[in-house]
Amino acid sequence: MLYDLNVPWSPSQDSAQLQRTISFLSEAGYSALALNHTIKSPLPPQITNPIPTTLPFTLPPKTTLLRRCTLTISDPSLNHRLPNLASAYDILALRPTSEKAFLSACQSLTEHSIISLDMTQRFPFHFKPKPFMTAVNRGIRFEICYAQATMGDAGSRRNFISNCLGILRATSGRGLIVSSEATSVLGVRAPADVLNLLSVWGLGKDRGLEALDVNPRGVVMNEGLKRSGFRGVVDIIDGGDKPTPKEKNTPTSNGAGKKGKRKATSGSQQLSSEAPLSKRAAKKARLAAVNPEPDTSPPPPATELDTPSEIKTTTNG
């Protein structure tokens, strides 16, 4: 599954041109695409996502569409509302234009997952390995957009190749993402052509495949976990329902529901005084009630009548 996480989008863009670009990318083998909306700092007071969830045309089959925002920053101290911006989009990328903003994006800022540089210009600072590798170890990926070289003039291509060599030297080919950033179909290239361009610029085939598949997939998965989970561990599926309030006990005639001890009734006192029967005794009682046993006990012995001699003895005494 190949990814292209930078398909430019603007509110004034022609929908037919966007449809042709998405269709060509899908035919070339890219399954996951991200519509990119580029804004500049400072952030507007009301942060909204202008990219529609449903496009006015039908998407190609088996094509996943994401919404991305790229923020161009020059002073990181003016962007304290980055969490609100990140929650409005699926992916957040930063495009620093100064050394201070670049170091902050590599070392301290946490809301973004991609650093996308405008490689058609000359930067006033050198690409050192330490900030690059710090960002890579934090899970941030650096984006290389090949359309900046294929659709630019000679000066843009010269700066692009110089900056690309500097990034490859600083990162050793690790933590890279390759996207198109093509404003039209003419700037789109097939995956095989992209790998050939990267090999010319100094990136091996294995690293090139990672930049088209493994690394962008990791970005999409991590951004999804940030928005649907808690600290990347617990996935929030359902918040649950509110507990139902307990019903209050209604007072009865015998004093139930009032505070204090409850007075026992005569029936309850009688039941409590009687010892409970065991199961065997209860079974015998039921059988005795259904089939009473006949009385087989012997009759009592007959008493002897008093004799006349005994009567005489008693009278003489």
pLDDT at position 129: 93
Non-local CB neighbours of 252 within 8 Å, separated by 6+ positions: none
Give 183-190's long-range contacts (Cβ < 8 A, gap of 24+).
183/8, 183/147, 183/151, 184/17, 184/20, 184/21, 185/17, 185/20, 185/21, 185/24, 186/151, 187/147, 187/150, 187/151, 188/21, 188/24, 188/25, 188/28, 188/147, 189/28, 189/146, 189/150, 190/28, 190/29
Domain ranges of the chain: 2-235
Which residues does 67 contact at the CB level (< 8 Å), separation at least 6?
Answer: 34, 35, 37, 49, 51, 53, 89, 90, 91
Instruction: Give the residue-averaged pLDDT of 262-266.
Output: 50
Sequence length of the chain is 317
Q: What is the CATH architecture of 2-235?
A: Alpha-Beta Barrel (3.20)
Whether the CB-CB separation of 216 and 139 falls below 8 Å is answered with no
Output 197 or 234, whichever has higher pLDDT: 197
Mean pLDDT of 194-222: 91
Residue of higher predicted confidence among 17 and 243:
17
**β-bridge pairing 234-235 and 229-230:** antiparallel
Position 225 scores a pLDDT of: 83
pTM (two decimals): 0.71
At 125 the pLDDT is 87
Residue 128 and residue 102 in contact, taking contact as beta carbons nearer than 8 Å: no
DSSP state letters, 97-141? -SHHHHHHHHHT--S-SEEE--TTS--SS---HHHHHHHHHTT-E
Tokens 């998405």 correspond to: 22
Q: Are 174 and 208 in contact (CB under 8 A)?
A: no
What is the C-alpha to C-alpha distance for residues 144 and 16, in angstroms, rounded to an integer?
26
117-162 pLDDT per residue, tens:
999 999 988 899 999 999 999 999 999 999 998 888 888 999 999 9
Of the candidates 112, 113, 117, 120, the residue with the CA atom closest to the CA atom of residue 99 = 117
pLDDT of residue 36: 95
Cα(30)–Cα(141) distance, rounded to whole angstroms?
A: 19
